[in-house]
Copies of this chain bind each other. A is one copy, B any other.
Amino acid sequence: MTEETHLVLFMPSGKRGRFASGTPVIEAARELGVYVESVCGGRATCGRCQVSVQEGQFAKHGITSSNDHISPIGPKEERYYRVRGLPEGRRLSCSATIEGDLVIDIPQDTVVNAQVVRKESDGRVIERDPAVHMCYVEVEEPDMEKPLGDLDRLLVALEKDWKLKRIEVDFHLLPRVQQILRKGEWKVTAAIHKDEADDRPRLVALYPGLKNEAYGIACDIGSTTIAMHLSSLLSGRTLASSGTSNPQIRFGEDLMSRVSYVMMNPDGREAMTNAVRDAINGLVDKVAEQGGIDRHDILDAVFVGNPVMHHLFLGIDPTELGGAPFALAASGAQHLKAEEIGIHLNKGARVYMLPCIAGHVGADAAAATLTEGPHRQDEQMLLVDIGTNAEIVLGNSARTVAASSPTGPAFEGAEISSGQRAAPGAIERVRIDRDTLEPRFRVIGVEQWSDEPGFAEAAEKTGITGICGSAIIEVVAEMFLAGIISEDGVVDGAMAARSPRILENGRTFSYLLHDGAQKITVTQNDVRAIQLAKAALYAGVKLLMDKLGIDHVDRIGLAGAFGTFIDPKYAMVLGLIPDCDLEKVKAVGNAAGTGARMCLLNRGYRREIEETVRKIEKIETALEPKFQEHFVYAMAMPNKVDSFPNLEKVIALPEKKVLADAGGDGGRRRRRSRE
């Protein structure tokens, strides 16, 4: 009898094994390495360990029902059903025991259940293994004959029930431990933090009774925007997402002006540190309210940001990042307490910051790398994040290289005569008729294109005030496609004969995009600024391709806001990016934020990106003689030496087709998310 074993198959992993009658399902799962969450430690009270038992699956083996293959519902489980309820067919795996062959589903829904994997909105699967675990225990009451302290008896219980040895205790709990134990009548839930394999487990928070939830935040600190996600550490579910503009903008629009601010103002660093921390605390309030939780239940946090944001957030003077050799104070991953940087979460909440790759390739680029995973695939993948500097990562599982390239702020609309930030009234899409050279454009805040009925009325509200970053790319590319500018970027004065929109400005010419209350023109200088920026980016990419000895890339990911709004076609027309199948060029806008969330939900990803960053070869463009050479050739559109077979196809498309592709739902969706 005791020798009898049953075949148990866990889905969706497909892991299987044979187990004796009476084995709790959760034990079988753990033995096979199938992760099933549990907070209550097998007391049938937290409900985190529920599974689905498939019926009739084994019919082909002559079994028609598995009802008698699993134990009947016992009193503890019955109580849970009565009090909390469970979906049809669910059992608590801590209570149900194996009594015959079984197929067991680990449910993928994320609300109540402890899940193995979680599908993100972008289809991404994040396997869960957070740094914080909730462990319910029942502690022995004090006894004069065994005068171990209350805390010490708690630690004994945690070792006994959860196999946690040599736990370290956050000091802030010491004055509170007796009260919490008594409030919970010696039943408490301990939040245990353990990040790296050789860390000792650490008691960071303690709750009376069963505490069946724990939350974490993932935050991407951009120079312009700060984005935050709130997730359940127990289910992986994202409860809320929010963003805010980075208040450091008032100290300087771009990174280098913020570094200058620090250099010029004795308390500049502190002011900017406080500004970004305050904004983050505000965001925590927002996501906590949105998610309907108490911010003190947030126990873990992951932050990413470019090197300057990284340093200012941590309270480090970024001055060294302002000049060669661009020394980071610290490049490795950082572990700290939220309290140490004035972020108000649970008093024991921990913070993890991803490593920076180099002085201008930050933790945000590392997070994007983790998300897109060039190091996990055989295809050569190019990841580009464009800001004042372009952060470039290129490679595959065999080898990955990274660099930053000084594109300057032209892509962000600075240094452009009619440039402006993406805001209502800014032109965001442009088309130029190849014959008449007449433009059609779209304005942020207006539904219609400029040649559609109702545009003029709608545009009265917003005005037409300038050109934003994505449209600058488009207008220069369209000018090139319409023959207004040459391959070398010269606005062709001869075209003035064909259209009154070609204006003479002394020795150069410009293109009149809009003749309204404000004249919006694209000048020869504007074209030059874009040429310089795109040449810098391309030269950086080309340098990395040289390093890898490759002449094409298989995939391109465009990260950040610029990557989200730019049309890859025009990027290729201008030669911002190397030739690539357009199907394989995609915006990976929130890749940094997703990478942060991955590290929040699974500490394995922390080790993965730390290891990857260690392996990435860092190329300093300023030290490479070839960079200048590439740069010169890359000034042309698309450039003078490389072939762009995919681009030929794009240019060959009828103008209408290009328009239809760009102006469909995709465009509208993007615009809405920008507003």
Chain A residues at the B interface, C-beta cutoff of 8 Å: 142-152, 155, 166, 168-169, 171-172, 174-175, 177-179, 198-200, 314-317, 320, 324-332, 334-337, 340-341, 356-359, 618, 620, 622-623
- Report B-chain residues with C-beta under 8 Å of the C-beta of A330: 149-152, 169, 174, 177
- Of all chain B residues, the one with the shortest Cβ separation from A182 is B320
Q: A143-B325, A147-B358, A149-B329 are in contact. Are A174 and B618 (CB under 8 A)?
A: no
Cα separation A179 to B330 with both chains bound (whole Å)? 13
Q: A144-B324, A198-B200 are in contact. Are A178 and B622 (CB under 8 A)?
A: no
Cα separation A394 to B563 with both chains bound (whole Å)? 75
Give the distance to chain B from A486, nearest Cβ to Cβ, in Å: 36
- Report B-chain residues with C-beta under 8 Å of the C-beta of A142: 320, 325-327
Q: Contact check: which of B174, B198, B328 meets A316 at CB < 8 Å? A: B174
- Report B-chain residues with C-beta under 8 Å of the C-beta of A356: 149
* Sample of 16 further A-B pairs with CB below 8 A, known A147-B359, A175-B315: A142-B325, A143-B325, A144-B325, A144-B623, A149-B327, A150-B320, A151-B330, A151-B332, A152-B328, A152-B330, A152-B331, A168-B335, A175-B314, A177-B329, A177-B330, A178-B329
Q: Contact check: which of B146, B151, B327 meets A150 at CB < 8 Å? A: B327
Q: Contact check: which of B144, B155, B317 meets A326 at CB < 8 Å? A: B144
Q: Contact check: which of B171, B317, B324 meets A178 at CB < 8 Å? A: B317
- Report B-chain residues with C-beta under 8 Å of the C-beta of A178: 316-317, 320, 327, 329
- Of all chain B residues, the one with the shortest Cβ separation from A331 is B149
List 14 A-B pairs, Cβ < 8 Å. Answer: A142-B327, A145-B618, A146-B618, A147-B327, A147-B358, A148-B328, A149-B356, A172-B340, A174-B334, A175-B317, A175-B329, A178-B317, A198-B200, A199-B200
> How many copies, total?
2
Give the distance to chain B from A178, nearest Cβ to Cβ, in Å: 5
Cα separation A358 to B179 with both chains bound (whole Å)? 19
- Report B-chain residues with C-beta under 8 Å of the C-beta of A341: 171
Give the distance to chain B from A371, nearest Cβ to Cβ, in Å: 22
- Report B-chain residues with C-beta under 8 Å of the C-beta of A149: 327-332, 356
- Report B-chain residues with C-beta under 8 Å of the C-beta of A150: 320, 327-330
Give the distance to chain B from A228, nearest Cβ to Cβ, in Å: 21
Closest 4 CB pairs of A and B: A149-B331, A142-B327, A147-B358, A149-B328
Q: Is the CB of B332 within 8 A of A152?
A: yes
Give the distance to chain B from A278, nearest Cβ to Cβ, in Å: 18
- Report B-chain residues with C-beta under 8 Å of the C-beta of A145: 618, 620, 623
Give the distance to chain B from A601, nearest Cβ to Cβ, in Å: 24
Cα separation A460 to B316 with both chains bound (whole Å)? 67
Cα separation A337 to B331 with both chains bound (whole Å)? 25
- Report B-chain residues with C-beta under 8 Å of the C-beta of A198: 166, 200
- Report B-chain residues with C-beta under 8 Å of the C-beta of A147: 326-328, 331, 357-359, 618, 620
Q: Is the CB of A148 within 8 A of B622?
A: no
- Of all chain B residues, the one with the shortest Cβ separation from A356 is B149
- Report B-chain residues with C-beta under 8 Å of the C-beta of A199: 200
- Of all chain B residues, the one with the shortest Cβ separation from A334 is B174
- Report B-chain residues with C-beta under 8 Å of the C-beta of A168: 335
Give the distance to chain B from A332, nearest Cβ to Cβ, in Å: 5
Cα separation A147 to B365 with both chains bound (whole Å)? 15
- Report B-chain residues with C-beta under 8 Å of the C-beta of A359: 144, 147
- Of all chain B residues, the one with the shortest Cβ separation from A316 is B175
- Report B-chain residues with C-beta under 8 Å of the C-beta of A316: 174-175, 178
Cα separation A596 to B144 with both chains bound (whole Å)? 27
Give the distance to chain B from A170, nearest Cβ to Cβ, in Å: 9
- Report B-chain residues with C-beta under 8 Å of the C-beta of A152: 328, 330-332
Q: Contact check: which of B320, B329, B340, B620 meets A144 at CB < 8 Å? A: B620
Cα separation A352 to B324 with both chains bound (whole Å)? 44
Q: Is the CB of B623 within 8 A of A151?
A: no
Give the distance to chain B from A457, nearest Cβ to Cβ, in Å: 54
Cα separation A178 to B311 with both chains bound (whole Å)? 12
- Of all chain B residues, the one with the shortest Cβ separation from A273 is B175
Give the distance to chain B from A3, nearest Cβ to Cβ, in Å: 41
- Of all chain B residues, the one with the shortest Cβ separation from A178 is B329
- Report B-chain residues with C-beta under 8 Å of the C-beta of A317: 175, 178-179
Cα separation A145 to B618 with both chains bound (whole Å)? 7
Cα separation A438 to B422 with both chains bound (whole Å)? 104
- Report B-chain residues with C-beta under 8 Å of the C-beta of A337: 171
Cα separation A618 to B142 with both chains bound (whole Å)? 14
